[in-house]
């Protein structure tokens, strides 16, 4: 098949585009830069590149026509964040392509109510920020579109993506590099909340795997949504213990209030932390496993360690002690 990947040079696309080429598909990567992914791979030599500024093209009403000019069978949208943009794309592709696969987010759900959170259940509350609200609205629109006999769509909702070239969401629920210096030195990590909050990470290649499976199983995935996460999730305390051990250190936690935490960090890091820890999510992947054969290769700590190792080796993360092993 001929597949257009919107945002093909991003973190998911870095792994997905080579996968699609290896599977024998003809791939067009549409990006603002026209570049390849974060990691070199021989498959990129067989990819066509189209430069397009989606925001500008959406404003001009030309984005859908730009995609259709490539004459794709399948469109994979990795960089859509508003219902307006998603709706415009659906209207342009309806009756013209066989399958649209959209990248959503686990943040289409709000705070957890029951573990694990499953697709189509009341296991979590409603989303509480604009990003999550938009992702939830897009997923509903896509499901309704296919149910009504329109464009065949699938939505895939990744957890907290990690892998080479990516700053992982750390045990405080944010990307502050200072957390890793503290963990590597054995210092006390000042932790808001109880420490029993949870986060559900996933390696970017495991996300790419699920997109590839959706491409190959169009009828099974039509009108469906699937969650792309690791087989297990991490509690904050467990995360601190595991990550401290990577540097030969013991976990050292200093409990503080949220007010104390907000006063000790930037507004951005505080918002990130609240977003992750307040949601405290754990997801099921049974639907993706049973219907599509999803088999993630990475446990969350393995995926996070790969990210941390890459950042250290490339001089993008300072730590007090080297990784052990």
**Tell me: the pLDDT tens digits for 19-61?**
999 999 999 999 998 777 778 899 999 999 999 999 999 999 9
Average pLDDT over residues 218-225: 98
Mean pLDDT of 247-270: 97
Q: How far is CA 160 from CA 64, 163, 200, 242, in A?
A: 29, 10, 6, 17
Q: Mean pLDDT over residues 128-132, rounded?
A: 96
**Number of C-beta neighbours around residue 290 at 10 A:** 9
Give burial (CB, 10 Å; 0-12/13-18/19+) of 314.
exposed
Write down the pLDDT at residue 40: 84
Predicted local distance difference test score (pLDDT) of residue 19: 98
The whole-number pLDDT of residue 216 equals 98
pLDDT of residue 35: 76
197 contact partners, CB below 8 Å, separation of at least 6: 173, 235, 236, 276, 277, 278, 280
Ramachandran angles phi, psi of 183, nearest 5°: -60, -40
Specify the pLDDT at position 39: 80
The pLDDT of residue 212 is 98
d(CA 16, CA 211): 7
Query: What's the average model confidence in pLDDT over 214-219?
Result: 98
Q: Domain spans of the chain?
A: 2-161+201-228, 164-200+233-280+299-313
DSSP per-residue letters across 86-97: HHHHHHHHTTT-
Query: What would the mean pLDDT of 245-270 be, rounded to a whole number?
Result: 97
Q: What is the Cα–Cα distance from 237 to 267, expressed in whole angstroms? A: 23
| Mean pLDDT to the nearest integer, 162-184 | 96
Q: How far is CA 237 from CA 9, 70, 193, 241, in A?
A: 34, 49, 11, 6
pLDDT in tens, 72-104: 999 999 999 999 999 999 999 999 999 999 999
Is the pTM higher than 0.95? The answer reads yes
* Residue 244 binned pLDDT confidence (cut-offs 50, 70, 90): very high
Compute the distance between CA of residue 307 and CA of residue 259 in angstroms, rounded to an integer. 30
Give the pLDDT band (50/70/90) at residue 264: very high
Helices (H), the chain: 11-22, 54-60, 63-68, 83-93, 130-147, 178-185, 204-216, 218-221, 236-246, 258-264, 267-279, 286-292, 300-313
**Region for 280 from its dihedrals, namely left if φ exceeds 0, alpha if ψ lies in -120 to 50, beta otherwise:** left
Retrieve residue 299's tokens: 């446990």
Report d(CA 201, CA 204) in Å as an integer. 10
pLDDT at residue number 96: 98
- Give the CATH H-level superfamily of domain 2-161+201-228: NAD(P)-binding Rossmann-like Domain (3.40.50.720)
Say if residue 43 is exposed, middle or buried (CB neighbours under 10 Å; 0-12, 13-18, 19+).
middle
Q: How far apart are CA 303 and CA 285, in angstroms?
A: 17
Cα–Cα–Cα angle for 182, 297, 209, rounded to 5 degrees: 115
pLDDT of residue 215: 98
Q: With cut-offs at 50, 70 and 90, classify the pLDDT of residue 158.
A: very high
Mean pLDDT of 142-158: 98
């Amino acid at each position: 098949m001929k597949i257009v990947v919107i945002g093909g040079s991003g973190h998911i696309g870095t792994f997905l585009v080579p996968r699609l080429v290896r599977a024998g598909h003809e791939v067009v990567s549409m990006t603002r830069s026209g570049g390849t992914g974060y990691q070199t791979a021989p498959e990129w030599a067989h990819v066509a590149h189209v430069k397009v500024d989606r925001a500008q093209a959406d404003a001009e009403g030309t984005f859908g026509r730009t995609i259709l000019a490539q004459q794709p069978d399948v469109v994979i949208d990795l960089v859509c964040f508003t219902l307006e943009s998603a709706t415009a794309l659906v209207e342009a592709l309806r009756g013209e392509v066989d399958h649209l696969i959209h990248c959503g987010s686990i943040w289409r759900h709000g705070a957890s109510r029951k573990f694990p959170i499953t697709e189509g259940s009341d296991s979590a509350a409603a989303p509480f920020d604009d990003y999550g609200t938009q992702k939830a609205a897009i997923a509903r629109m896509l499901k309704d579109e296919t149910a009504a006999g329109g464009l065949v769509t699938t939505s895939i909702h990744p957890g907290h993506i990690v892998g080479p070239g990516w700053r992982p969401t750390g045990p405080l629920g944010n990307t502050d590099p200072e957390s890793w210096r503290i963990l590597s030195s054995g210092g006390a990590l000042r932790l808001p909340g109880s420490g029993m909050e949870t986060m559900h990470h996933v390696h970017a290649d495991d996300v790419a795997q699920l997109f590839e499976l959706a491409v190959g199983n169009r009828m099974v995935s039509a009108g469906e949504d699937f969650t792309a996460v690791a087989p297990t999730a991490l509690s904050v305390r467990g995360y601190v213990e595991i990550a401290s051990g990577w540097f030969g250190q013991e976990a050292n936690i200093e409990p503080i209030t949220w007010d104390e935490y907000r006063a000790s960090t930037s507004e951005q890091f505080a918002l990130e932390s609240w977003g992750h820890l307040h949601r405290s999510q754990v997801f099921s992947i049974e639907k993706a496993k049973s219907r599509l054969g999803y088999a993630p290769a990475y446990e969350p700590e393995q995926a996070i360690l790969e990210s941390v190792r890459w950042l250290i080796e490339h001089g993008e993360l300072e730590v007090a002690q080297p990784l052990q092993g």
